[in-house]
Amino acid sequence: MTHDGPSTRPLSLMPALALLGLAVSAGTYAQPPSQPSLAPMIERISPAVVNISVSGSVAVDSPAQDEFFKKFFDFETPPDGRREVEAAGSGVIVDATKGYILTNHHVIENADKITVTLSDNRSLTAKVIGSDKGTDVAVLQVSSADLKSMPLGDSSKLRVGDYVVAIGNPFGFSNTVTSGIVSALGRSGINSQAYEDFIQTDASINPGNSGGALVNLSGELVGINSAILSRSGGNIGIGFAIPVNMVRSIMDQLVTKGSVQRGLLGVRLDDLTPDLAARYGLHDNSGALVNTVTANSAAEKAGIQIDDVIVSVNGTHIRDSGSLKAMIGLLRPGEQVRVGLIRDGREQTVTAVLGELTAAAAAAAAAEEPDQREGFAQLDPTFEGAEILENEQGKGVPGLIVARVVAGSPAFQQGLRQGDVITTINRVPVRTLADAAGAIKGAGSIVLRVRRGNRDQLILMR
């Protein structure tokens, strides 16, 4: 945000003041009798939007960083290796009786003290009922009379083009109201580690709006403002809000259990490109391609296989891997789900009983440790960093052997690992480098089927 200097601010105000004076003195200004306005709705719901101030501490990242601040900013090293921090954001009262307030996880993360300021300037101390990093949702509670809550809407009824209003405290300016439309629905891919199904809006959202309300023209909460896409830190017309239906599900668990339990299907996925969709005989590129099935997982027990394209869960259409991840992540362990998929061009449905996404399961799903040895093959630029050899002895699984992979190379980043055996490329069996070259030639995408250990998986190289 840039501020006007002292010399420019009077110049920007004088013309408007002069015109106002002329209009009033001449008696020509009149308010239209039935001017359309959002004011009645805003006046009704804005008391439910609050300012959240946070104070806390964070660990100093490194001794070098601490020495930098100490040298150039006269900071003393804290004895416990932590620094005090302050932050601000917004929140929405959704239960006036119990004092529940919705906000973002990132607003109250690292908080030692949370102060909520109401629209009537009352300041209250809040406690954290629960917080979920995966969806960036947190629930706070305050104790006070005369609170005003905001009714919850139904975000599944939103359409692209619907008018929406954002209310929050950008840059500390309390109860700021901006308007716009729903620009898109189901946005994901902003944070690969999160559960995303964002509402995109062009209603102006800026730092400090986080945790604030996105409402429809009926004054119902349809989203919690969470993030912006910006190169400068300010609004450029691309903001994101968490749909209230997702928030409601997370809030229920945080209030009743203090944490969120997530279902686990046990697959790794790739998005479909138009080229892949054509290769798999699909009419569009909706769905998620299964590239790995975890041993003894819900997916394996249900009969889901690599090369399957998952297109629905419980009858709800799947747009991409992000929407599938979000949908499964909002379900609870032990729930039975119907998974619609396409296998070899034929649609079918399987039933899976979800496992639980424990810390151990999440760690097991993390990327493998880098292979530090060098070498590469010139099979294709996407394979740079990998040495791929023909299996001259003819022992073991037929295919091409990945002899070495350079850590951080394009091949490594795409998922190839030393010891992998490439059995098919673009669904064509390969035994020689000539076979591989023929399968890749002219292809818009490259899909490998590899044997790793005693299991098969897919790797999307391009």
What's the CA gap between 368 and 419, in Å, rounded? 13
The DSSP bridge pattern shows strands 82-95 and 100-103 to be antiparallel
What's the CA gap between 175 and 166, in Å, rounded? 10
- 8 A C-beta contact, residue 152 and residue 251: no
- 8 A C-beta contact, residue 136 and residue 194: yes
Strand boundaries in 299-395, DSSP class E: 309-313, 316-317, 336-343, 346-353, 355-356, 386-390
What's the CA gap between 127 and 149, in Å, rounded? 18
What's the CA gap between 184 and 199, in Å, rounded? 6
Can you tell me which residue has the tokens 């359409």? 159
In the numeric block, which tokens belong to residue 361? Answer: 């399961």
* Residue 155 C-alpha from the chain's centroid: 17
* Residue 219 C-alpha from the chain's centroid: 25
H or E, element range at 395: none
Strand boundaries in 346-419, DSSP class E: 346-353, 355-356, 386-390, 400-405
What's the CA gap between 58 and 367, in Å, rounded? 27
| DSSP state letters, 56-107 | EEEE-S-HHHHHHHHHHH-PPPPTTSEEEEEEEEEEEEEETTTTEEEE-HHH
In the numeric block, which tokens belong to residue 304? Answer: 């889901």
Q: Which of 188, 185, 168 is nearest to 48 (CA)?
A: 168
What's the CA gap between 209 and 222, in Å, rounded? 15
Catalytic residues, by residue number, are 106, 136, 210
Q: Is 307 left (phi over 0), alpha (psi -120 to 50) or beta?
A: left
Which residues on neighbouring strands pair with residue 240, listed in sequence order? 200, 227
Count of helix runs (H) and strand runs (E) in the chain: 11, 26
What's the CA gap between 340 and 290, in Å, rounded? 12
For residue 347, which amino acid is it? E
